[in-house]
């Protein structure tokens, strides 16, 4: 397993649409292992493959990290599809490992039903609400090249991008 560098905005590769996986094999599991290790190291509660530069429809997640002393609960989503989304929306103050140290209040469907392949390539369905629903939709946006800041007003998004560029220049000096 290896920790891989996380790509940050405004890197254009984050705008790529990721491609479906045609087989959940050992190579893909090695990718998922690296993603999980990278996510734990960051630390974050979710990671999409494109965030480490791999344009495949793969997501890892572990929401247990938010509660001290909880056992790890890694989740893997390959080729996820939303089957149903509630009309009711929920607002969450979202962050993103690819948009470091920035946050924004984002409205999304409060509950979703999704279908995906798991770590073993087995088809699964999940009824998600709360943070799981929010995080799954945040990660699925990454698969379409969409960041949480793309849901903000242009003025807020531009302000965040300017701060990211400035912070990166300062770090490079």
Q: Which of residues 40-69 bind Ni ion (CB under 5 A)?
A: none
Q: How far is the CB of 150 from Ni ion (least distance, A)?
A: 11
Q: Which does residue 152 bind out of ligand GNR, Ni ion, none, counting CB within 5 to 8 angstroms by kind?
A: none
Q: Is 108 in the site for ligand GNR (CB under 6 A)?
A: no
The whole-angstrom separation of Cα 103 and Cα 75 is: 24
Q: How many angstroms from the chain centroid is the CA of residue 120? A: 20
122: three-class secondary structure by DSSP? coil
CB 114 within 8 A of CB 86: no
Shortest approach of ligand GNR to residue 85 CB, angstroms?
Answer: 16
For position 92 contacting ligand GNR by CB under 6 A, the verdict is: yes
Q: Distance between CA 142 and CA 145 in Å, rounded?
A: 5
Annotated active-site residue 139? The verdict is yes
Q: Which residues form the interface with ligand GNR (CB under 6 A)?
A: 44-48, 51, 92, 94-98, 134-135, 138-139, 142
């Amino acid at each position: 397993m290896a920790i891989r560098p996380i790509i940050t905005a405004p890197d254009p590769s984050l705008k790529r649409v990721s491609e479906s996986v045609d087989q959940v094999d050992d190579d893909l599991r090695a990718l998922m292992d690296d993603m999980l290790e990278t996510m734990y190291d960051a630390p974050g509660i979710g990671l999409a493959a494109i965030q480490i530069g791999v344009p495949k429809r793969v997501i890892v997640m572990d929401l247990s990290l938010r509660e001290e002393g909880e056992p790890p609960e890694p989740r893997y989503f390959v080729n996820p599809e939303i089957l149903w989304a509630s009309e009711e929306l929920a607002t969450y103050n979202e962050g993103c490992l690819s948009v470091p140290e920035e946050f924004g209040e984002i409205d999304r469907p409060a509950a979703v039903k999704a279908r995906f392949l798991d770590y073993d390539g087995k088809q699964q369905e999940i009824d998600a609400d709360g943070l799981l629903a929010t995080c799954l939709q945040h990660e699925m946006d990454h698969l379409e090249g969409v960041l949480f800041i793309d849901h903000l007003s242009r003025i807020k998004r531009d302000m965040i991008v300017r701060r990211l560029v400035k912070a990166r220049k300062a770090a490079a000096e």
